[in-house]
Amino acid sequence: MNRGGLLSVALLYVLVIAMALLIVVNRHHSRQLFAELQKLEKERDELSADWSRLKLEQSTLLNQVHVETRSKQVLNMQKPSADNIKVIRE
């Protein structure tokens, strides 16, 4: 085998080893990213659980009856009767 051939075989050998190492590194990196992804997905789930809980809470507080009793009791408001209403049409 001539010198050039030998050199290229050596080069290829080095390349193969390098590639193998790169694959290992990449694989490790991908697993780390996947772990990160799982953490984020968990976080997303917790946030969306919070969101739906808050949404439910908001809808409970916005309940018509609740708002009405609060406005009557706390703010001393009242429903106007027909003789207290005037309609202005344009």
Partner 1 sequence: MLTLLVVIGILMLRAAWLEIFQQEWLQQQADKRQMRVVTVPAYRGMITDRNGDPMAISSPVSSLWCNPQELLQAREALRNEYELSRQVSEATAGDTAAEESEAQALASTRFARLESGFRQIEKELGMEEGSLPAKLKEASSKQFFYLGRQLPLEVADAILDLDLPGVAATREYRRYYPLAETAGHVVGMTNVDGNGIEGIEKAQNDILAGKNGQTRVVRDAKGKLVESVISMEEMQPGQNVQLSIDRRIQYLAYKELKTQVSLLNAKAGSLIVLDAHTGEILAMANVPSFNPNNRKELEPYLYRNRAVTDKSEPGSTIKPLTIAAALEARVLGADVEINTSPGQINFGKYSVKDPKDYGSITLSTLLAKSSNVGASRVALLMAARDQWMFLNRVGFGRVPNAGFSGETAGQLTDYTKWGKVDRASHGYGYGLSASLLQTTHAYAPFAANGVFMPASIYKLDKPGLGQQVMSPDTASAVLRMMEAVVQKGGTGEKAMVDGYRIAGKTGTAYKYIDGKYQNDRYLTSFIGVAPASRPRLVVAVQIDEPQIDDSGGRAAAPVFSKVMAESLRLLDVPPDNLPSEHPPMPQPVAPANVGGAT
Does residue 78 touch partner 1 according to CB under 8 A? no
Three-state secondary-structure class, residue 12: helix
Spatial CA neighbour of 17 closest among 7, 25, 29, 28: 25
Number of C-beta neighbours around residue 71 at 10 A: 13
Binding window for partner 1 (CB under 8 A); candidates: 1-9, 12-20, 51-59, 69-77: 51-59
Binding window for partner 1 (CB under 8 A); candidates: 3-11, 18-26, 29-37, 70-78: 29-37
CB 71 within 8 A of CB 77: yes
Contact footprint for partner 1 (CB under 8 A)? 27, 30-31, 34-35, 37-38, 45-46, 48-49, 52-53, 55-56, 59-60, 62-65, 79, 81-83, 85-90
